[in-house]
Amino acid sequence: MATIDMRVYDELEALEAILIEDLVVKHDNGVPSIIETVIHPSTGDQIDQQYVCLTLEVKLTPDYPESSPEVFLRNPRGLDDKLLTNIDLKIKEKLDRHVGNPIVFELIEIVREYLTQCNLPSGQCVICLHGFVKGDVFIKTPCYHHFHSHCLSKHLINSKKYYLEELEKLPNWQRAQAQPYQQTCPVCRCTVSFDVKTLEEAPPPVDSVNAPPFRLTAELKALQQRMSEMLARQAARGGIVGSGDDGPPLLTITTPADNEEAKGSTSGTQGETSARAGPSTSADSTPDQPYRGPYRGFNRRAKPGRRGRGGAR
């Protein structure tokens, strides 16, 4: 078993006392090797105001703290790449300046400080595609995805409406077995539970209110032209499903009335064809003659029994 610097155990004991359940220590042959903790912004008792988080993973080297550990930022929530890059650079600077000293707690504080300063989800609301700015009313799901409250209310209302419409299409026996409607996160489909009426009271996103009216710019026209040319190339190569296809559609939805109409039109067509063609004189239309061969009246094992095909009854 490798000899471990006692300062490592002292540091772990202090971290466990401070972080309690938020600390995970993994061992390799009884030796501490990886330290993991989920870090949130400092918001006091207002846990519901923590909009971002990430997991800090510190991989200890065999001679830590005499050499710097490897540090990884895992599973970021509500953080963009620019902020993660800044945190990573700050961590590397700290490691270079403090080689030879236990450093894990200070790394945790660096990350927490950044998260506290940037406790606002970055990126866009995936429903309206507008960013989050000061003045927006937004909400965080338990799975750490963020949406404008106004947008999420519209999504939940429409998703329930779609569920009920699809349920009406099912036969009664399938309706009885169908799962009840459940709200889900628009990003990861995890189960959520929100009061839609409360969400509806929130104002629309600030950017959507202040956005200028749409106009077709030269850039959009150029994009339309490129997309049109691409569509023409794909069509010429036969790469568009349904383009120039003379066969039946890939999916046809019919009703009982459609089926009755189709049967009627088919019968009429066959009658007209027979009337135009008149009596047939081809060999294919000659009635089958009774079998008169030597095995008439015998079954397949040449024993008396089942009548032969076409045998006299």
Q: Is residue 34 domain-resident?
A: yes
- Per-residue tokens: 159: 């998703």
In the chain, the amino acid numbered 230 is M
State the pLDDT at residue 283: 45
Q: Is residue 300 domain-resident?
A: no
Give CA–CA dist 185/147, Å, rounded.
10
pTM of the predicted model over 0.75 = no
State the pLDDT at residue 276: 46
Q: From 124, 149, 141, 119, select the one nearest 52 (Cα to Cα).
A: 119
* Least confident segment among 63-72, 151-160, 287-296: 287-296
Out of 142-146, 220-224, 252-256, the most confident range is 220-224
- Per-residue tokens: 184: 């889900």
- Per-residue tokens: 179: 């799962």
Q: In terms of domains, do 111 and 147 share one?
A: no
- Per-residue tokens: 291: 């079998």
**Strand 31-39 with 23-28, pairing:** antiparallel
* Least confident segment among 19-33, 162-176, 209-223, 284-298: 284-298
CATH number at residue 148: 3.30.40
Q: In terms of domains, do 112 and 143 share one?
A: no
Q: Is residue 23 domain-resident?
A: yes
- 249 — pLDDT class (breaks 50, 70, 90): low
**Strand 70-77 with 31-39, pairing:** unpaired
Give CA–CA dist 143/188, Å, rounded.
8
Q: Which of 192, 209, 226 is the last residue of a domain?
A: 209
Q: In terms of domains, do 35 and 75 share one?
A: yes
| Percentage of residues in the chain having pLDDT higher than 70 | 75
Q: In terms of domains, do 28 and 106 share one?
A: yes
Domain hosting 204: range is 138-209
Is pLDDT at 1 greater than 70 in this prediction?
A: no
State the pLDDT at residue 248: 53
Give CA–CA dist 303/223, Å, rounded.
81
Q: In terms of domains, do 113 and 144 share one?
A: no
Please work out, in degrees rounded to the nearest 5, the angle formed at the alpha carbon of residue 271 by the alpha carbons of 270 and 273. 65
> What digits encode the pLDDT tens for the residues 259-303?
665 556 555 545 444 444 444 444 444 555 555 555 455 444 545
- Per-residue tokens: 298: 């015998």
Is pLDDT at 250 greater than 60 in this prediction?
A: no
Q: In terms of domains, do 104 and 192 share one?
A: no
Give CA–CA dist 178/137, Å, rounded.
35
* Least confident segment among 63-77, 207-221, 251-265: 251-265
- Per-residue tokens: 242: 């349904």
Q: In terms of domains, do 162 and 112 share one?
A: no
Q: Is residue 292 domain-resident?
A: no
State the pLDDT at residue 280: 46
Q: Is residue 67 domain-resident?
A: yes
Q: Which of 161, 178, 209 is the last residue of a domain?
A: 209
Q: Count of domains in the chain?
A: 2
Q: Is residue 236 domain-resident?
A: no
Q: In terms of domains, do 188 and 86 share one?
A: no
CATH number at residue 56: 3.10.110.10
> What digits encode the pLDDT tens for the residues 125-146?
899 988 888 888 988 888 888 8
> What digits encode the pLDDT tens for the residues 80-132?
888 899 999 999 999 999 888 899 999 999 999 999 988 877 778 899 988 88
* Least confident segment among 41-50, 156-165, 227-236: 41-50
Q: In terms of domains, do 33 and 89 share one?
A: yes
Q: In terms of domains, do 14 and 109 share one?
A: yes
Q: Is residue 35 domain-resident?
A: yes
**Strand 31-39 with 53-59, pairing:** antiparallel
Q: From 106, 76, 80, 101, select the one nearest 91 (Cα to Cα).
A: 106
Q: Which of 88, 117, 146 is the last residue of a domain?
A: 117
